[in-house]
Amino acid sequence: MGQQILVIGAGSIGRRHADNLAQLGAQAKLIGWRGFSARALADLLAQGADGVVIATATDIRLPLIEVCAAAGVPFYVEKPLAFRRAELTAILTIAAPVADRSLAGFMMRYHPAFRALAEADLSDCFRFDFAIGHDVTQWRQNWLFSDSYAARTEGGGVLLDLCHEIDMAACLFPGLTLDAVHSLGHPAYPAVDMASRLHLTAANGASGTVAMDYLAPGLIRRATLCGQMVTRDFDFAAQSYRLTDAQGPHLLDLPLERNAMFLDAMRDFLALIAGHPPSGIAHFPRLDHVQESCQLIATAWETRVFNGQVVKELP
C-alpha cells in the first residue's frame, strides 16, 4: 500500500494534487474545507497519515500547519505561505520540527526553463525583469472574480495570486532588497491590487522589477536577465528561450508539459516523507529553503502603495 496522504481543499488545485498522488502510487484522500476544521484534521492524523497537502485559502493555513507540526507529520502547502509578516513568522516557528520534510508550492521552480536559469552563472547580471499578466476574467469558465479568494481585502489581489515571479527573483538573486511596491486598485474592491510592480535591488547592486497584473488581454509571462556577457530573454508563455552573447542569439530547447511540474513536486514530497533524496533540482522548494521568498512576498503585500485605480468589468 502506498503512502497515506490527506489533501485538504477540494478546489481545482487540490483535485490536481490528489490525482497526481494517486498516479504516483500514494493513497490520497481528498477533503473539502467546508465543514472541516483543524480539530477534524487532528482526529484524522491520530488515525494515521504519512503527509498532508494543504490547498486551502491562505488565511486559514496556520491552524492546519500547527496540527501537522504537533503530530510530526510533514505537509505540502500551496503558495503564498502567508500575506502578513507576523503570521509568516508564526508559521515558520511552528513548522520548524517538520520543515526539512515539508514542501511549499512554488511550482515554477520545477519549470525546465527556470531550472536552466537556476543552474546558470548570473554573477554578471546588472538588470532583471520578471512579468506575468493575464485578464482574470478569462481564467476559467463559470468562475466569478467576486466570489473568489482573489477579491478579498485580506489576502486577495494579484501580488499574492501570481507570486511565482517574486519567488523566482528571490531564488536567482538571494538577498534582494525591496525598494518600493506600486499598485493599481479597483473601486469595487478596496485594497485589492489589480496590478503591482516591485522595485528590487540585488546584493551585487543589480536592479530589477517584478510586475504582475489581472489586466493583459493575452497571457504574458517573461523574464529578462541582462548580463555583461549574456542576455537571457525567456518567454515562458511562448516557450521561447533566447540567449544572446558576443556571437549572437541562441535558442534553447526546453519543452514543458505543465502537469509534469506538479507531478515532480508531489514526487519530491513523497520522497521527503519517506526519507529519500528528492529530485536534486537547484532550489527545490523545501519549506526551510523558501523563507526568503516568503518574507519578500509578505513584505511586498503589506507595503503596497496604491497609485491609482483601473476601471474593468469584473463579474
Distance CA 60, CA 46 (A): 21
Please report the pLDDT score of residue 76 as a whole number: 98
* Nearest residue to 287 (alpha-carbon basis) of 75, 135, 111, 90: 75
Domain boundaries, the chain: 4-107+260-285, 111-254+296-309
Global pTM reads 0.96
Question: What order of strands is seen across the sheet that includes strand 207-213?
Answer: 248-252, 240-245, 231-235, 220-227, 125-133, 207-213, 195-201, 177-185, 305-309
Ranking 37-46, 212-221, 271-280 by mean pLDDT, the lowest is 271-280
**pLDDT tens track for 6-43:** 999 999 999 999 999 999 999 999 999 988 999 999 99
Topology of the domain comprising 4-107+260-285: Rossmann fold (3.40.50)
**pLDDT tens track for 239-264:** 999 999 999 999 999 999 989 999 99
Mean pLDDT of all residues belonging to the chain: 96
Q: Is it true that domain 111-254+296-309 has CATH number 3.30.70.1710? A: no
Write out the three cell numbers for 151.
477579491
Q: Which residue in the block uniquely carries the three cell numbers 503530530? A: 71
Distance CA 177, CA 175 (A): 6
Please report the pLDDT score of residue 280 as a whole number: 79
pLDDT band at 111 (very low <50, low <70, confident <90, very high): very high
* Nearest residue to 285 (alpha-carbon basis) of 266, 308, 313, 307: 266
Distance CA 151, CA 192 (A): 7
DSSP 3-20: -EEEEE--SHHHHHHHHH
